[in-house]
Amino acid sequence: MTRLPLGLLAASALALLTTGAIADTIKVGVIGPFSGPFANQGRNFQAGIDAWMALNGQAVGDDEIEVVYRDLPAADPARARTLAQELVVSDGVQYLAGVYFTPDALAIAPLLEEANTPLVIFNAATSAITKQSPLIVRTSFTLPQTSAPMAAVAAERGLKRVVTVVSDYGPGADAEGAFSTAFEAKGGQIVEKIRMPLAANDFSPIMQRVRASGADALFAFLPSGPPTLAFARAYNDNGLKGAGVTFLSTGDLTQESDLPALGASVEGFLTTFHYSVAHDSPENKSFVEAAGKAIGDPKLLTFPAVGAFDGMRVIAKMIEATGGEQDAAAAVEAVKGMRFESPRGPVTIDPETRSPTQTIYLREVAKAGDGFENREIQSFADTPDLGWTK
């Protein structure tokens, strides 16, 4: 051990005292799927958080952020509520964050006011979530926001008859509603609305129904992870492409981490979404570098990482605005209207919906190097959460 001369020790102790540089620790409790079939989505939360820290540091003023992780492998509202309660009561977190699935966010919402704790949602994307508590802010997207632009694309491309196919829960209902309303407003026809159980994993019967309907296209939403991978495969295995049924979906179905497995079978698929790993900007370049390093293999990167990265940006601003004090209402107030250049493009936290207003991109799965990417080919700037009604 090296010994410091006494005089130096005293000097550094004095410096600490006079600058008051003894940091308070502010804990952020992050709930997400860190194990099980959706584990890569949780790893992306962590990669986004680590990337934020690597690029911006762990300190906000005199305070230091400490992240406490809790694993919730699948949608499980009762467990989500217990985890949130434990984080607040036993771990003393000042912020709750993360949350992949909508039912979990809905279960946590009623706890927030009494706990004087904001919830910053990194993913869960049903529009109505932010209505359940004034202490919720979202940094991901909403399904009405990503789905309605696809109706404009379908109409522009001359598609007339579409079947919607969605998972039967909040985000699916949002996707179905927003796409159908927008497509019908443009003179299109919804031939059939198919809803599948959230846990469905055999999609052949559904593909046969779509084929039998005589539709020009299907429009789909399922939550990203193993189900989306199986769904895209079933489209190909059941010969829908050959039958002339165009595949349209939100970007959840072609997330980058699934592209190596899906390969050429999804080349040309059109999706609408808020983020592509291939987005061309300096902000995204440094984000992808930092998050790729954090996750170990850059091929595993996908959209929950950007929700988490911007979520940490929002939490840092909340800590700064409250001087580290626990004042949930003031923390949320401070980020209403916040504008920033995200790795996805420009984002504003809408003061009313507390969800991002952002560019939604039309992307096409295209060859890039020895793999595939979601190539942005058209953009819908300043798209708000279109699901919000008073």
Q: Which is nearer to ligand PHB, 104 or 216 (CB)?
A: 104
CA quadruple 260, 263, 266, 269: dihedral, nearest 10: 60
Q: Which is nearer to ligand PHB, 177 or 223 (CB)?
A: 223
Quickly list H helices, 57-191.
Answer: 77-89, 102-108, 112-115, 143-156, 170-185
Residues 232-251: x/- map of binding to ligand PHB (CB under 6 A)?
--------------------
Do 104 and 86 touch, CB atoms closer than 8 A?
no
Q: Which residues, 160 to 179, sit near ligand PHB by CB under 6 A?
A: 171
* Site for ligand PHB contains 223 (CB under 6 A): yes
* Site for ligand PHB contains 387 (CB under 6 A): no
The token pair at 24 is 């308070």
Residue nearest to ligand PHB (CB): 223
* Pairing outcome for strands 95-98 and 119-121: parallel
CA quadruple 310, 311, 315, 321: dihedral, nearest 10: 50
Cβ at position 19, least distance to ligand PHB in Å = 44
Task: Compute how many other C-beta atoms are within 10 angstroms of the C-beta atom of residue 390.
Answer: 4
Q: Which of 65, 124, 150, 166 binds ligand PHB (CB under 6 A)?
A: 124
Q: Which is nearer to ligand PHB, 147 or 357 (CB)?
A: 147
Beta bridge partners of 103: none
The token pair at 319 is 């800590």
* Site for ligand PHB contains 133 (CB under 6 A): no
Q: Which stretch binds ligand PHB (CB under 6 A): 29-37, 62-70, 99-107, 359-367?
A: 99-107
* Site for ligand PHB contains 252 (CB under 6 A): yes
Q: Which is nearer to ligand PHB, 257 or 342 (CB)?
A: 257
Q: Which of 127, 224, 342, 353 binds ligand PHB (CB under 6 A)?
A: 224
Q: How many residues bind ligand PHB (CB under 6 A)?
A: 11
* Site for ligand PHB contains 101 (CB under 6 A): yes
Radius of gyration of the chain (CA): 22
CA distance 107 to 252: 23
**CA end-to-end span of the chain:** 65
Q: Which of 94, 102, 374, 383 binds ligand PHB (CB under 6 A)?
A: 102
Cβ at position 336, least distance to ligand PHB in Å = 22
Phi-psi region of 137 (alpha: psi -120 to 50; beta: other; left: phi over 0): beta
Q: Which is nearer to ligand PHB, 246 or 250 (CB)?
A: 250
Contacts of 318 (CB under 8 A, 6+ apart): 95, 118, 120, 331, 332, 334, 335
* Site for ligand PHB contains 126 (CB under 6 A): yes
Q: Which stretch binds ligand PHB (CB under 6 A): 28-36, 96-104, 183-191, 266-274?
A: 96-104
Cβ at position 149, least distance to ligand PHB in Å = 16
Q: Which is nearer to ligand PHB, 271 or 322 (CB)?
A: 271
Counting runs of H as helices and runs of E as strands, what totals does the chain give?
13, 15
Cβ at position 60, least distance to ligand PHB in Å = 28
Coil, helix or strand for 56?
Answer: helix
Which residues are near ligand PHB by CB under 6 A? 100-102, 123-126, 171, 223-224, 252
